[in-house]
Structure 1
Amino acid sequence: MSALPRPPTPPRLAGSRVVVVGASKSGVAMARFLVSRQASVVLTDLKPLENLGAEVGTLGRAGARLELGGHDVTSFTSADLVAVSPGVPLTIEPIAEARRRSVRVVAEVELASWFLQGILIGITGTNGKSTTTALTAHLLAQAGLRATACGNIGLPLTDLIPKDAPDHYYVVELSSFQLEGIDTFRPWIAALLNLSPDHQDRYPDPVPYYQAKARIFRNQGRADHAILNRDDEEVWGLAKTLKAHVHPFSRATTVEDGACLRDDRIVVRRDGRDIRAISLASIPLFGAHNVENVMTALLVTDLCGVPLPRAERALAGFRGLPHRLEKVLHVGGVTWYNDSKATNVSATIKSLESFPGRVVLILGGKDKGGDFPRLIPLIRERVAHLVLMGKARDVIAAQLGTIVPTTKVVSMSEAVEAARQVAEEGSVVLLAPACASFDQYTGFEERGEDFRRLVLRLLPRS
Structure 2
Amino acid sequence: MRISQLEGRRVALWGWGREGRAAYRAIRSRLPQLPLTLVCNADEAADARALGDAFLSVETGADALGAFDVVVKSPGISPYRPEAVAAAEQGTHFLGGTALWFGEHADAAGFVDNAVCVTGTKGKSTTTSLLAHLLRAGGHATALVGNIGLPLLEVIEPEAAPDYWAIELSSYQTGDVAASGVRPGVAIALNIFPEHLDWHGSHERYIADKLRLLTEAKPRIAVLNASDPILSALQLPDSAIRWFGRSDGWHLREDALYRGDEFVMDTIALPLPGRHNRGNLCAVLTAIEALGLDAVALAPHAASFKPLPHRLQTIGTRDGITYVNDSISTTPHASLAALDVFRGRRVALLVGGHDRGLPWEEFAAAMRHSAPLAIITMGQNGPRIHDLLAAVAGEGGFALSAAADLADAMQQARAVLAGDGVVLLSPGAPSFGAYRDYVARGRHFAELADFDPDGISAIPGLGIG
Tell me if TM exceeds 0.5: yes
Select 1:113's aligned residue among 102, 105, 110. 102
Counterpart residue identity of residue 151, structure 1: G
User: Is contact 2:2-2:100 (8 Å) kept?
Assistant: no
Corresponding residue for residue 158 of structure 1: 153
Counterpart residue identity of residue 357, structure 2: G
Corresponding residue for residue 191 of structure 1: 188
Counterpart residue identity of residue 13, structure 1: L
**What do the CA deviations read for 1:391-429 (whole angstroms, capped 9, x no partner)?**
222121123225132221122111111100001455222
Give SS of 1:177's match. Answer: coil
User: Is contact 1:146-1:167 (8 Å) kept?
Assistant: yes
Matches within 5 A, 1:368-379: 368-379=356-367
Corresponding residue for residue 86 of structure 2: 97
Matches within 5 A, 1:301-450: 301-357=288-344, 358-380=346-368, 381-402=370-391, 403=393, 404-424=398-418, 426-450=420-444
State the distance in 2 between where 1:164 and 1:259 align. 36
Aligned length: 436
Name structure 1 gaps, 5 residues minimum: 1-7
Corresponding residue for residue 278 of structure 1: 265
Q: In terms of mean alpha carbon deviation, does 79-88 or 372-381 score higher?
A: 372-381
Corresponding residue for residue 224 of structure 1: 220
Corresponding residue for residue 290 of structure 1: 277
Counterpart residue identity of residue 82, structure 1: V
Counterpart residue identity of residue 401, structure 1: A
Corresponding residue for residue 204 of structure 2: 207
State the distance in 2 between where 1:297 and 1:52 align. 42
**What do the CA deviations read for 1:267-288 (whole angstroms, capped 9, x no partner)?**
224xxx64x6132135211111
- TM-score w.r.t. the length of structure 2 is 0.87
Note closer, same or farther for the CA distance 1:365–1:163 as it changes in structure 2 (3 Å cut): same
Identity within the alignment, %: 28
Corresponding residue for residue 62 of structure 1: 53
User: Is contact 1:360-1:386 (8 Å) kept?
Assistant: yes
User: Is contact 1:260-1:267 (8 Å) kept?
Assistant: yes
Per-residue deviation at 1:311?
A: 1.9
User: Is contact 1:120-1:186 (8 Å) kept?
Assistant: no
The answer to whether structure 1 residue 234 and structure 2 residue 209 are counterparts is no
User: Is contact 1:22-1:43 (8 Å) kept?
Assistant: no
The answer to whether structure 1 residue 177 and structure 2 residue 164 are counterparts is no
State the distance in 1 between where 2:27 and 2:54 align. 10
Note closer, same or farther for the CA distance 1:9–1:162 as it changes in structure 2 (3 Å cut): closer
Per-residue deviation at 1:242?
A: 4.2
Per-residue deviation at 1:259?
A: 1.1
Per-residue deviation at 1:11?
A: 4.7
Give SS of 2:104's match. Answer: coil
Q: In terms of mean alpha carbon deviation, does 304-313 or 276-285 score higher?
A: 304-313
Give SS of 1:62's match. Answer: coil
Note closer, same or farther for the CA distance 1:66–1:401 as it changes in structure 2 (3 Å cut): farther
Corresponding residue for residue 244 of structure 1: 239
Counterpart residue identity of residue 72, structure 2: A
Name structure 2 gaps, 5 residues minimum: 107-111, 453-465
Select 1:266's aligned residue among 254, 257, 262. 257
Per-residue deviation at 1:263?
A: 4.5
State the distance in 2 between where 1:168 and 1:52 align. 38
Aligned-residue CA RMSD (Å): 2.5
Give SS of 2:244's match. Answer: strand
Corresponding residue for residue 5 of structure 1: none
Per-residue deviation at 1:141?
A: 2.0
